[in-house]
Structure 1
Amino acid sequence: MARLRAVPAPTPPVPRAHRRLRVLYLTCHLPFPPHSGGRLRDAELIRHLADRAEIHLCVVSKTYEQDLAHQAEAERYCASVAVLPAAPVAGGAADDTTPEKIRRHHCPEMRELLAAKLAAGDFDVIHVEGYYLMQHVPADASVPVFLGTQNVEYLLEEQRSTLCGAAAPVRAEVQDAARWAEESAWLRADACGAVSHDDLTHIRTHVRIPVTRWTPDGSDHLSPTDTGDLLPGLGNGPRVLYLANFGYQPSADAGRLLCEQIWPSVHSQVPDARLILAGANPPDWLREYAAHDSSITVTGPVESVTPLLLRADLFLAPLRIGGGVKVKILEALTAGCAVVTTPVGAQGLAPEVRAAMAVVADEHDAVEAATALLRSPERREELRAAARDVASRLPSWPQAARLLHDAWLAMLDRVRTAARESAYARVDERVG
């Protein structure tokens, strides 16, 4: 008699639009207020996902008191918010190759909190924004893990090593350990997302993950609101703007390069020009430049960057280290700025978007491009028009949120399919 093939028990259905996903969302900062590109990304995604997902935000904070003060802003969009202080682990031992990102975000309390939440709650997705936070996800977690990747971090470290050279050599074993740690995190996840197609291709090339999705940054396609000139005392000369979270080393590096090597040459040729350095965490050395050079203004964090962007004659971002897509570049394009940046600043953007900017090879070319544009209102207006045109075709934040939500659903579909296939395989093995 022919054997009948047993049918395994059905797997739970993947939640759809009629049921909001319950998501544990793990980040390295409270997204509110959005004073950096990374915070802005998380803030906008959470804001636009609030109607289709129940977000339980868990934060490993390096700025604990500051984040606690703004927790109520996050609670407007999240079902719950937990902010715990990072407990960094000191490095320095000769045989210690643990990546700095992992050591900086060490937090035993977060591991315990996530384990307790997973034991008590019926979650659909664990979303981890950054591989270095995977250390907090319980190894036995039964909830699918989606790993968001804003940068391939070990590629940034390789850029820093190349840039510093003999001045700050990085041991080969340290670089190898960083690569291993990040790729191991990708492999541990059930799905990965990347903000740029370049990073997505890199991940797909180096590891085999069933679900890898493009989860881009967005840009605000609404008409920017002008709340008036934030710097009325600067006069009528042309304004050059750079936005950054100066607490982030690649952004600070570009700010130092701008002040030390690019701006003195530009200002000598366009004496009435003014340089505005805006953003959170300006270091003392940056404020010292402004104190000794009246053509430089350091604003610190501002409530909205729109007024600065609308009055900028030039947006200058000489980035030498970076990955993914730069939110500051998207903001400048959306505001219709004439943009001068480097290949690193233009990373992850389509050729037609890069064509709407002046992309320069090095600081010497940055000086030439910036000076030429400050002297030519006609050429600046051509770049402004090109920026406005390409910005209208960039993903919006609502579109970016939908793409992330779709990526979560694709992961859940894949997990359900894999569970069904595994169940059939076990049945076949028993009756074969």
Structure 2
Amino acid sequence: MRRVLVLLPAVPDPPDAGAKLRNLGLLRLLSRTHEVDAIAFGTSDEHARLAPLVRRPTVVPRPLRTNPDRLRDAFGTDLPDMAMRLWSAEFAAAVRGAVAAETYEAVQAEGIELAPYLGLVPPQQRIYDAHNAEFLLQRRASEAPGPPLARMYSRIQSRRLARFEREIVSTSRLTLAVSEHDANQLVALTNGNACIHVVPNGIDVTAFEFEPPAHSTRTMLFLGKLDFRPNTDAVRWLVRCVLPSVLQAVPNARLFAVGGAPPRWLVRAGQRDSRIAVTGYVDDERPYLARSSALLLPLRIGAGTRLKALVAMASGLPIISTRLGMEGLAAVSGEHYLRAETATDWIDAIRLVLCDAALRQRLATNARVLVEQRYDWSAIAPALRDAYGTVGV
């Protein structure tokens, strides 16, 4: 069997975030056809959760990078912030040691934060898994409404990321993109001077019980890490521009805001109004999926694809989303989800989904079929096999 070394930003079990869902699925697929070793950031306790997934697990403590460090780096280097976020001399030493001790056909970096470590191995061994077209995400963030300082940061980071991603993608033997849209962005960025294949985000559909909400709980769900700017921007707009009208128009309506690191203003909103439940981090989102009648994705910033959309589709939870929220997925508005862009669109769509059981059932059923056919890992496996096959790995 050919050997592959995978570099991970975190131990992917439990898969309590989008990147972890992708990384766990890819590890399991690769382990069927290759001998897989992995180096991940994590704690000594997490080593036991990585060990069953790979042949040879290594766990390295996550580096501490303070805000003063980030400020210094912002002015002292041309590298993007994300390229320095997980740089660690100990992790670099682990990579060097692994490639010196073993013969690997490939070293695969999961996401841009691990991409700098590809510079430690020869170009013919480098595989870059691009979880997002990061330069695009920051460009969109710079163009979205928001604090001037945050928009300036995103403009600077978008330019730096474009240079960095162009270098990483063009010097890697293979780049994996999560969607055709992201792949096209990376092809354009490199002027076609790269080997890029689409391996979509996926989930284990069987891990999610299909329970479409036959009787509306009139509960809306917002799901995601709440210190991530696209999510922060989305939930702020939702709570301020949409939710008041929905709560006034729909008796007993309420919102679950589920995700780690909620901002203080959102916590205070939940304290003032019992119809807004702010949970903080949860290790299993499925109970909240089961208790809700709609997943809301009012995203105005982003790239890649949203794994939380796939989770909702597998669980039978209808989705209301902007175009950007479902970008990169083969979902059709009116068939698999409802699209809404303006505040008025959102208010109308939420009222419709919360009050129409037949619509909820139709959207949920169609979405489950789509995710089974296109986004279960069993359906994605051939794409990964073909991508590796094109470079002889």
Match of 2:380 among 391, 397, 400: 400
Tell me the residue number matched to 2:127. 146
Moved more, 400-409 or 111-120: 400-409
Q: Within 2, Cα distance between the matches of 1:302 and 1:94?
A: 36
Q: Within 1, Cα distance between the matches of 2:4 and 2:11?
A: 16
Does the 8 Å CA contact 1:226/1:306 hold for their aligned counterparts?
no
Residues 97-131 of structure 1: CA deviation (Å, up to 9, x unaligned)? 32111121221222222112111111111001123
Matched, 1:218 2:189: no
Does the 8 Å CA contact 2:169/2:175 hold for their aligned counterparts?
yes
Q: Which has the higher contact order (CA 8 A, sep 6+)?
A: 1
Q: Within 2, Cα distance between the matches of 1:174 and 1:392?
A: 37
Q: Note closer, same or farther for the CA distance 1:372–1:243 as it changes in structure 2 (3 Å cut).
A: same
Shift of residue 56, structure 1, vs aligned partner = 1.7
Gaps of 5+ in 2: none
1:81 counterpart letter in structure 2: T
Tell me the residue number matched to 1:47. 28
Q: Note closer, same or farther for the CA distance 1:203–1:356 as it changes in structure 2 (3 Å cut).
A: same
Q: Note closer, same or farther for the CA distance 1:337–1:174 as it changes in structure 2 (3 Å cut).
A: closer
2:340 counterpart letter in structure 1: V
2:232 counterpart letter in structure 1: A
Moved more, 166-175 or 307-316: 166-175
Tell me the residue number matched to 1:69. 45
Residues 366-386 of structure 1: CA deviation (Å, up to 9, x unaligned)? 122112222333332332233
Q: Note closer, same or farther for the CA distance 1:401–1:393 as it changes in structure 2 (3 Å cut).
A: closer
Matched, 1:86 2:63: yes
Tell me the residue number matched to 2:110. 129
**TM-score scaled by structure 1?**
0.80
Q: Report matched runs for 1:2-21 at 5 Å.
A: 19=1, 21=2
Tell me the residue number matched to 1:387. 367
Gaps of 5+ in 1: 1-18, 230-234, 414-432
Tell me the residue number matched to 2:161. 178
Q: Within 2, Cα distance between the matches of 1:278 and 1:151?
A: 22
**TM-score scaled by structure 2?**
0.88
Shift of residue 226, structure 1, vs aligned partner = 8.2
Shift of residue 183, structure 1, vs aligned partner = 0.8
2:148 counterpart letter in structure 1: A
Q: Note closer, same or farther for the CA distance 1:96–1:119 as it changes in structure 2 (3 Å cut).
A: closer
Q: Note closer, same or farther for the CA distance 1:351–1:283 as it changes in structure 2 (3 Å cut).
A: closer
State the aligned residue count: 383
Q: Note closer, same or farther for the CA distance 1:211–1:97 as it changes in structure 2 (3 Å cut).
A: closer
Matched, 1:191 2:168: no
Tell me the residue number matched to 2:246. 266
Q: Note closer, same or farther for the CA distance 1:117–1:27 as it changes in structure 2 (3 Å cut).
A: same
Does the 8 Å CA contact 1:356/1:386 hold for their aligned counterparts?
yes
Q: Within 2, Cα distance between the matches of 1:263 and 1:173?
A: 33
> What percentage of residue pairs aligned between the two structures are identical?
25
Bigger Rg over Cα? 1
| Cα-Cα RMSD | 2.7
Q: Within 2, Cα distance between the matches of 1:354 and 1:368?
A: 14
SS of residue in 1 equivalent to 2:7: strand
Q: Within 2, Cα distance between the matches of 1:225 and 1:411?
A: 38
More helix by share: 2
1:397 counterpart letter in structure 2: W
Does the 8 Å CA contact 1:154/1:182 hold for their aligned counterparts?
yes
Matched, 1:335 2:335: no
Q: Note closer, same or farther for the CA distance 1:282–1:152 as it changes in structure 2 (3 Å cut).
A: same
Q: Report matched runs for 1:108-119 at 5 Å.
A: 108-119=89-100
Does the 8 Å CA contact 1:193/1:212 hold for their aligned counterparts?
yes
Tell me the residue number matched to 1:293. 273
Residues 32-54 of structure 1: CA deviation (Å, up to 9, x unaligned)? 21111111111122133323222
Q: Note closer, same or farther for the CA distance 1:100–1:263 as it changes in structure 2 (3 Å cut).
A: same
